[in-house]
Structure 1
Amino acid sequence: MPLTRRSLLGASLCALAAPALVSRAWAETPPRNISALRQMDWRDHFETLGVGAIVADTGSRALHYWSADGATYRLFPTSVPATEELTRRGYTQVVEKKVAPTWTPTPSMRERFPDWPAVMPGGDPRNPLGPYALYLSWQYYRIHGTHDTRKIGRPSSDGCIGLFNEHITELFGHVQVGTQVRLI
């Protein structure tokens, strides 16, 4: 099939619509235990809400967010670490928020993939951190966006919790430095 302006435009529109369609598909076909997700209560994980709370559930591949006053609750589908060795569980907190974060592969990533770049600037469409990142007190762990929407809903990351770019944009606007985080 010859490449025409019309076919190129059509393909571009499909690519732009894909994240919204995938996000909508998750909402229409949620994880098997969505009823349990909707019933999650922050009090099962934290003594107080503090400046806000996040529970990233690696089993159901979902992130729960509660605001400091408890009035705002959000539930987002996520990617999770690809293996148990890459998965860390427990309590941490948001220590920094970055717009257009620079990505630096971890030493173990560089060992496994020596041809990867040493640094990838923010804003680069290949940057796996997407437009925003929440840096956790654990070294190398982030909650961030991703341009690769195929990762959401599956084990695919090297330890981070990934969100659709539209979802990290929303979450980033709510979260404050000091927000407590629990990975379960």
Structure 2
Amino acid sequence: MSPGSLSRRRLLLTGAAATLLPAAARAQEATDGPPPMIPAPELAPVRRNTSSFVRQDWRTHFDTLGVGAIVCDTTSRALHYWNADGSDYRIYPTSVPASEELTRRGYTKVVRKKVGPDWTPTASMMERFPELRYMPPGPDNPLGTHAMYLSWPAYLIHGTHDTRKIGRQSSDGCIGLYNFAIEELFAATPIGTQVRII
């Protein structure tokens, strides 16, 4: 070996050692103290009262999608929506009927839609709660901002201003959604959309 090549080798080894030394020193420093603080990821706020629910397949409930399909699952307290070609699938947390006696299951469809619905208590509601009275649209109206009327009389999918009801058995037979959710569903759902309540 010539003296020139030895000095090149020394130069390369010295350079490599100089490069690795700061990393080794940093690694040693990191083990001497507590680990560095890593900020926690920012999580979306948790919505109270919502139950867990699983994805549904529309074919389990309908032969075709028609103009659209909705499944209201009273067990998991969720509404599932599909548009006519199945490309839009949405799930919303809901309120459900307060008791088994108030729960109606089966097939129906959306026959009418209304923004700013008014509310009239049914005869059976008046029997149980004689103080109930007609309510015009507004913040105290139990139907919220939007309502979709089903072919069964007095059964609706509607919003609610009382968000504590979502995720609970709290209605007189209807399916309730947060107002922002019913507004979105209302816009996507055509008249004639088939509905199954399970």
Q: TM-score range by the shorter chain?
A: 0.7 to 0.9
Match of 2:46 in 1: 25
The answer to whether the 8 Å contact 2:50/2:166 transfers is no
Amino acid at match of 1:167: A
Structure with max Cα Rg: 2
**Counterpart secondary structure, 1:150:** helix
Could you tell me which amino acid in structure 2 is paired with residue 87 of structure 1? T
Name segments (4+ residues, structure 1) moved above 2 Å.
Answer: 29-32
Mark the runs of 5 or more structure 1 residues left unpaired by the alignment: 1-22
Aligned 8 A contact 1:80 1:157 in 2:
yes
TM-fit CA distance, 1:31: 2.8
With normalisation by structure 2, the TM-score equals 0.75
Measured in 2, the distance between the counterparts of 1:112 and 1:133 equals 23
Change (3 A) 1:153 1:173: same
How many Å separate the matches in 2 of 1:24 and 1:99?
Answer: 28
Distance change (3 Å), C-alpha of 1:164 and 1:69: same
Alignment of 1:142 with 2:135, yes or no, is no
Aligned to 2:11: none
Partner of 2:126: 110
**Paired residue secondary structure (2:72):** strand
Q: Which amino acid aligns with 1:159?
A: G
Take 2:45 and 2:66, find their aligned partners in 1: how far apart are those partners?
A: 31
Q: C-alpha distance in 2, partners of 1:26/1:41?
A: 25
2:193 maps to 1:179:
yes
Aligned to 1:68: 84
Among residues 80, 85, 90, which one is paired with 2:101 in the alignment?
85
Partners of 2:45 and 2:59 lie apart in 1 by 29
Question: Could you tell me how far apart the structure 2 residues matched to 1:26 and 1:88 are?
Answer: 27
Identity between Structure 1 and Structure 2 (%)? 66
> d(CA) in 2 for partners of 1:25 and 1:79?
17
Corresponding residue for residue 11 of structure 1: none
